[in-house]
Homo-oligomer: A and B are copies of this chain.
C-alpha cells in the first residue's frame, strides 16, 4: 500500500523481463489473486502505467506467468530409453502443478500453440518417434497424452484426488495409455 523502493529508486531499467520476474515472485508468495498491475508496479517502485509499454496489459502479465510455468517443466534426460523419458516428462508436469496449484489452470486457457510450450512438446515427440511412430501418429499420441496429463495434474492441483493414491493411479493410467498409443 505504501510506496516501496523509495530509498533505492530504479536501479535497473524497467523492461519486460524484470516485470515478469517480479510478477512471478509476487504470485509465488501472495498467490494469483494478488497479481494486479498495481501490486506489480508497487514492487518495482513504479507507477502502474509504466508497465503498459512493456507488457501490453494485464493479460500480458499472465502470459508471462504461463511462460515461466512452462519453463519450470523439467525436461527428460535424453539418454534414457523413450518410455522413461515420457514418464519423466509427465512427472515433471505434475511437479509443476503441485508447486503452483493456483497458477497451473492458466496453462489450460492459453497453451499448446505458443512458443514456450514447444520444448516439452518436442521432448514428447522425440520419445514417440523413437518408439517407432510416424509423424501423424506422433502428433496424435502427444495430444492425447498431454490432454490426460494436463487434466490429471489440474485435477490433482484442485484437490480432486485428495484421498486417493494419485501416484499409483497416474502411473497405471499413463502406462495403459502409452500401451494403447504405442502398440
Contacts and interface: CB of A to CB of B under 8 A. Distances in A.
A144 interface: yes
- What does DSSP make chain A's interface, helix, strand, loop or mixed? helix
A152 B147 contact: yes
Interface in A103-127: 105, 108-113
Contact of A105 (B109, B140, B150, B162): B109
A164 B152 CA distance: 22
Contacts of A151: 147-148, 150-152, 154
Contacts of A173: 144, 147
Interface size range of chain A in the complex: 20 to 34
B158 A109 contact: yes
A63 to B, nearest CB: 14
A107 to B, nearest CB: 10
Interface string A143-181: 110011011101100101110100001001100110111
Contact of A147 (B113, B155, B172): B155
A26 to B, nearest CB: 21
A176 B180 CA distance: 6
Contacts of A176: 177, 180-181
A145 B84 CA distance: 24
Interface of A: 105, 108-113, 140, 143-144, 147-148, 150-152, 154-155, 158, 160-162, 164, 169, 172-173, 176-177, 179-181
